[in-house]
Structure 1
Amino acid sequence: MALKEHLREARNRLFKAALAVIVGTVAGFFLYDPVLQALGTPIETINAQEGRQAALNFDTAASPFDLLIQISVFLGVLISSPVWLYQLWAFITPGLKVKERRTALAFIAVAVPLFLAGIALAWLILPNAVVVLTGFTPEGFANLINVSVYFAFVLRLMLAFGIAFLLPVFLFGLNLVGLVKGRQILKAWRITVFLVCLFAAMAAPGGDALSMFYLAVPLLLLFFVAIGLCLLNDRRRDRRNAAREAEVEQGADTASRIDGL
């Protein structure tokens, strides 16, 4: 395709992706109230079970409308993700070879569920994280939490967990391109465990032990699965290289015999 045709195709696919996001945003507008109620559930738990005063607070007249737009757009991007991911994939695919297409499709098939699993795990530990963090409030004080700041905190928490679940996929990708070998990672398993626990401690809100445990254990399991896949891939690569070397040596022997005749 000529450059002009590439630009035209990019414009069309971008338009379709933007249209899908707009439709998803409209759907997110109707989901705003239940989502906001779900986000406020940990705050209600604090008031009911902890006996402390906590509430989500809108600090300006325009804050409710701003939050409505933010949550609606976020839900729109999430709901429309199959459409814009497909548009991105359809634009990139013609420039890839068959093997590259299969590899990229396999990575997407693994990465998307892992990312969603990380987000789901973050949602599960959100109530505990809020209770732990607000537990540092001195006696006699109340927690009037800015709702926009609270939503940003929830979003960062989910992104941190989602991206953390993608790290083993990234590690396996480095192995596929030959930058890292499985034996090298396995030899440094103590450092790997330390780094995973350190990342979990930094990503877990408030650094509470339970949230760190919820993040560290699945990450360690995923990392060791990735190491196992790296070892299998290294073994397959070694066998393939050995077969190629054997073919080269056999060809050289045959050529030397012909020269001898």
Structure 2
Amino acid sequence: MADAAEAVDRARTAVTERVELPGMSLLEHLNELRKRFVHSIVALVLGFFVAYGFHERIFVFMQQPITVALKRHHLDTQLVYHNPVDGFNLYLKLSFMVGAILAAPYILFQIWLFISPGLYKHERRYVWPFMLATVSLFFGGAFFGYRFVFPGSLDFLLSYSDKFRPLIEINEYTGLFLTVILGLGATFELPILVMFLSLFGIVSPRFLWTNIRYAILIIFVIAAIITPTPDIIMMCLFASPMLVLYLVSIGVSYMVHPGRRRRALDSAAK
């Protein structure tokens, strides 16, 4: 009797949650999307101005890996530029990138507010774990690149310049820096991407596991693209955390896939 009463309570809760899902017309969806987009743009602009106030410190932070690597090889640490506007454009680019990073948590919150009306009440409580996981994964990937991958890559590349005089241009170095740091930060967001794809039923844990060999191939192709050095060791260093994150993503997909949620509701209704 107790089990039957508990099952009835779970079924009543499931029905209540279904009723709580609000219905929105296409126009209401578009208005909500416009609202979230405007808020995100405002946050991005504010982040840019905040970052521009610290643009010189940001550049020093970005320049540190190449400065250390050049000193280790007894080379000149002064970077060069070819056009008088290069320095100004560089500060603008860095301020925009850092401003986007500063505004990212708020933008992610706006995205969550846009999709949350289509979720059940018990699913909406995952907003803060979602925010924490997204920000932590990105900064974890960026730190991994800044602390280990990028310095190792620079040291490897400069080892071939002992007989040459390097003239490292600021825009080229900035492009290399952003490719590695932001590339690794973005690839560490793989579980979050899989969570959204699974949440809307686009992929399933079975699909991810069945096609794991193709995923490994794609991961190594991506690692080869964003790795600044041609050696296989550095490419494996890029690919290893991505493979671990892919396995984690399979577990995330299992937890949020609609099929699992339907089975849980059906079992609760019985």
Q: TM-score scaled by structure 1?
A: 0.72
Q: Residue 22 and residue 116 in structure 1: after superposition, are their counterparts in 2 closer, same or farther (change >3 A)?
A: same
8 Å contact from structure 1 (residues 28, 75) kept in 2: yes
- Decide which structure has the larger Cα Rg and report it: 1
CA offset digits 1:214-254 (Å, max 9, x no partner): 3222222222222234456679468548749x96xxxxxxx
Q: How far, CA to CA, are the matches of 1:70 and 1:201 in structure 2?
A: 25
What residue ranges of structure 1 are gaps of 5+ in the alignment?
A: 248-261
- State the match for 1:128 in structure 2: 152
1:27 aligned to which of 50, 54, 62: 50
Structure 1 position 64 matched with structure 2 position 87: yes
Instruction: Name the % identity.
Output: 23
Q: How far, CA to CA, are the matches of 1:242 and 1:23 in structure 2?
A: 47
CA offset digits 1:140-178 (Å, max 9, x no partner): 322212212211221122232122122233334444444
2:118 aligned to which of 96, 106, 114: 96
1:143 aligned to which of 166, 174, 177: 166
1:225 aligned to which of 234, 248, 251: 248
- State the match for 2:221 in structure 1: 198
How many correspondences in the alignment?
243
Q: Give the letter for the 1:98 counterpart.
A: Y
1:214 aligned to which of 233, 237, 243: 237
2:60 aligned to which of 5, 17, 37: 37
SS in 1 for 2:98: helix
Question: Mean Cα displacement is larger for which, 227-236 or 125-134?
Answer: 227-236
What's the C-alpha RMSD, in Å, of the aligned pairs? 3.9
2:98 aligned to which of 52, 68, 75: 75
8 Å contact from structure 2 (residues 137, 188) kept in 1: yes
Q: Residue 94 and residue 42 in structure 1: after superposition, are their counterparts in 2 closer, same or farther (change >3 A)?
A: closer
Q: How far, CA to CA, are the matches of 2:165 and 2:135 in structure 1?
A: 40
Question: Mean Cα displacement is larger for which, 5-14 or 50-59?
Answer: 5-14
Q: Residue 168 and residue 143 in structure 1: after superposition, are their counterparts in 2 closer, same or farther (change >3 A)?
A: same
Q: How far, CA to CA, are the matches of 1:108 and 1:228 in structure 2?
A: 18
Higher relative contact order (CA 8 A, sep 6+): 2
CA offset at residue 56 of structure 1? Answer: 1.5
CA offset at residue 13 of structure 1? Answer: 6.8
8 Å contact from structure 2 (residues 43, 106) kept in 1: yes
Q: Residue 13 and residue 110 in structure 1: after superposition, are their counterparts in 2 closer, same or farther (change >3 A)?
A: same
Structure 1 position 112 matched with structure 2 position 135: yes
Q: How far, CA to CA, are the matches of 2:150 and 2:196 in structure 1?
A: 31
Q: Residue 175 and residue 10 in structure 1: after superposition, are their counterparts in 2 closer, same or farther (change >3 A)?
A: closer
CA offset at residue 77 of structure 1? Answer: 2.3
- State the match for 2:183 in structure 1: 160
What residue ranges of structure 2 are gaps of 5+ in the alignment?
A: 1-23
CA offset at residue 66 of structure 1? Answer: 1.5
SS in 2 for 1:65: helix
8 Å contact from structure 1 (residues 181, 230) kept in 2: yes
Q: How far, CA to CA, are the matches of 1:89 and 1:237 in structure 2?
A: 19
Q: Give the letter for the 1:195 counterpart.
A: I
SS in 1 for 2:168: strand
SS in 1 for 2:83: coil
Q: TM-score scaled by structure 2?
A: 0.70
Q: Residue 35 and residue 209 in structure 1: after superposition, are their counterparts in 2 closer, same or farther (change >3 A)?
A: farther
Q: How far, CA to CA, are the matches of 2:109 and 2:50 in structure 1?
A: 20
Q: How far, CA to CA, are the matches of 1:241 and 1:145 in structure 2?
A: 60
Q: Residue 230 and residue 40 in structure 1: after superposition, are their counterparts in 2 closer, same or farther (change >3 A)?
A: closer
